[in-house]
């Protein structure tokens, strides 16, 4: 087995220890004689799996008791509808559009009410985070929506917007668990698993309990009501059980690593190595304004499409894979989530440096 360094933006690299455990337990989960994939979600064993996962996430993020953790399906894309369906009581919401995913959320919001774009960075290809200290928040806005880390463009909100008292909803998919956050700043956090948590097909929702209500928009499917899942410990119907099991293993791994403060240090160190190289390179350059750089997704380019292609192909031959930029923007992108070891970024930077010399 020759594992590669996998820079995919998602589905993305998972900790080797987690995968190895999953492989070892595939035929027989801890003496049960069956796989977690084959296990009733109403069994005591699965109850332990989901409850342990919830508790470990609660510990990791220091989630207060007045917040509920849900495991749901459909990706963040489905949450783009669930958020307004559950929260848009006045049918008004403010969106800060800092990339394709925020834009999609904003467009979906328009199906359900008056969704306003109160700030955007589209004028410069989403290469920065707009000043959000004094935005025209609507008096009757039900929430302010952000995508906190923009996977495609490589920007991150390092300072949360001033919502002027309104509920903050954050799509945290690609920075979830990468550093400590103060959960009390948010009304609702959504995170697709396939970046920093586990396999695609699970979304973690962290919601302040007073926002879990029965009076959702009239056409809301039962499965899109947060209350449905909150009332049933995410077991209203069969959950994506195997995915939750893997997420639970990742939470345990993060605890073993020392928790989110340690992860932040590691992530900052990895990002610094790559950004420092980009800043001094004559061939490669980052595409994002420095102060808004993500430490999870690092897009970069050369001045030539041909050279970009050559780089991606040769990198892959050297065990550095999935370095293509998003299909809508081109260039390169290195996603360096929690599970990417420092050695992977070292090898990437070394390869970039060699490539630069050879192709100067």
User: Could you say which residues in the range 203-262 bind a copy of itself, by CB under 8 A?
Assistant: 217-219, 221-224, 236-243, 246
Residue nearer to a copy of itself on the CB measure, 22 or 189:
22
d(CA 253, CA 286): 31
Token pair in block for residue 343 = 């050695």
Size of the site for a copy of itself (CB under 8 A): 72
Q: Which of residues 141-170 bind a copy of itself (CB under 8 A)?
A: none
Indicate whether 12 belongs to the interface with a copy of itself (CB under 8 A). Answer: yes
Q: Which of residues 173-202 bind a copy of itself (CB under 8 A)?
A: 192, 194, 198-202
Q: Which of residues 275-294 bind a copy of itself (CB under 8 A)?
A: none
Write down the least CB distance from residue 262 to a copy of itself, Å: 22
Active centre residues (catalytic): 101, 171, 195
Q: Which of residues 299-358 bind a copy of itself (CB under 8 A)?
A: 319, 321-322, 327
Give 168's strand partners. Answer: 144
Region binding a copy of itself by CB under 8 A among candidate stretches 1-9, 57-65, 255-263, 299-307: 1-9
Indicate whether 48 belongs to the interface with a copy of itself (CB under 8 A). Answer: no
String marking each residue 54-73 x if it binds a copy of itself according to CB under 8 A? -------------------x
Token pair in block for residue 197 = 């948590």
**Does residue 59 contact residue 166 with C-beta atoms inside 8 Å?**
no
Q: Where are the beta strands (DSSP E) in 142-290?
A: 144-147, 149-150, 155-156, 168-171, 188-192, 203-208, 285-286
* Whole-Å CA distances, 110 to 29, 115, 150, 187, 280: 45, 5, 21, 20, 44
| Among candidate residues 90, 153, 164, the one with its CA nearest the CA of residue 121 | 153
Indicate whether 40 belongs to the interface with a copy of itself (CB under 8 A). Answer: yes
Report the half-sphere exposure of 95 (CA within 13 A, side-chain side).
Answer: 27
Indicate whether 19 belongs to the interface with a copy of itself (CB under 8 A). Answer: yes
Residue nearer to a copy of itself on the CB measure, 28 or 276:
28
Q: Which long-range contacts (CB under 8 A, 24 or more apart) does 255-264 make?
A: 255/56, 255/59, 255/60, 259/60, 260/60, 260/61, 260/177, 260/178, 260/179, 260/180, 261/179, 261/180, 263/177, 263/178, 263/179, 263/338, 264/178, 264/179, 264/180
Residue nearer to a copy of itself on the CB measure, 12 or 189:
12
333: how many CB neighbours lie within 10 A of its CB? 24
Write down the least CB distance from residue 137 to a copy of itself, Å: 25
Q: By CB under 8 A, name the one of 42, 44, 280, 357 that touches a copy of itself.
A: 42
Indicate whether 99 belongs to the interface with a copy of itself (CB under 8 A). Answer: no
Write down the least CB distance from residue 59 to a copy of itself, Å: 24
In the numeric block, the tokens 């001033």 are attached to 162
Indicate whether 112 belongs to the interface with a copy of itself (CB under 8 A). Answer: yes
Indicate whether 16 belongs to the interface with a copy of itself (CB under 8 A). Answer: yes
Indicate whether 82 belongs to the interface with a copy of itself (CB under 8 A). Answer: yes
């Amino acid at each position: 087995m020759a594992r590669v360094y996998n820079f995919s933006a998602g589905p993305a690299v998972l900790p080797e220890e987690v995968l190895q455990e999953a492989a070892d337990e595939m035929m027989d989960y801890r003496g049960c004689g069956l796989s977690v994939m084959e296990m009733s979600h109403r069994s005591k064993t699965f109850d332990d799996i989901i409850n342990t996962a919830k508790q470990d996430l609660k510990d990791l993020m220091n989630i207060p008791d007045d917040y509920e953790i849900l495991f749901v399906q459909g990706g963040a894309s489905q949450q783009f509808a669930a958020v307004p369906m559950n929260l848009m009581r006045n049918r008004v919401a403010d969106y800060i559009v800092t990339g394709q995913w925020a834009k999609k959320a904003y467009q979906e919001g328009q199906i359900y009410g008056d969704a306003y774009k109160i700030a955007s960075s589209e004028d410069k290809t989403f290469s920065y985070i707009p000043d959000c200290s004094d935005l025209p928040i609507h008096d009757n806005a039900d929430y302010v929506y952000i995508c906190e880390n923009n996977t495609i463009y490589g920007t991150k909100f390092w300072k949360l917007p001033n919502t002027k008292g309104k509920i903050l909803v954050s799509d945290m998919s690609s920075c979830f668990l990468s550093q400590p956050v103060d959960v009390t700043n948010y009304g609702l956090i959504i995170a697709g698993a396939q970046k920093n948590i586990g396999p695609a097909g699970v979304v973690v929702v962290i919601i302040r309990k007073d926002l879990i209500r029965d009076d959702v928009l009239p056409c809301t499917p039962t499965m899109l009501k947060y209350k449905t899942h909150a009332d049933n410990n995410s077991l209203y119907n069969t959950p994506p059980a195997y995915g939750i099991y893997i997420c639970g293993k990742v939470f345990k791994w993060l605890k073993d690593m020392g928790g989110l403060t340690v992860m932040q240090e590691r992530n900052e160190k990895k990002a610094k190595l790559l950004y420092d190289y980009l800043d001094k390179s004559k061939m490669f350059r980052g595409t994002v304004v420095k102060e808004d750089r993500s430490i999870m997704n690092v897009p970069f380019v050369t001045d030539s499409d041909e050279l970009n292609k050559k780089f991606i192909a040769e990198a892959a031959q050297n065990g550095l894979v999935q370095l293509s930029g998003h299909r809508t923007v081109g260039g390169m992108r290195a996603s360096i989530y929690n599970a990417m070891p420092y050695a992977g970024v070292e090898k990437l930077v070394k390869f970039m440096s060699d490539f630069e010399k050879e192709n100067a």
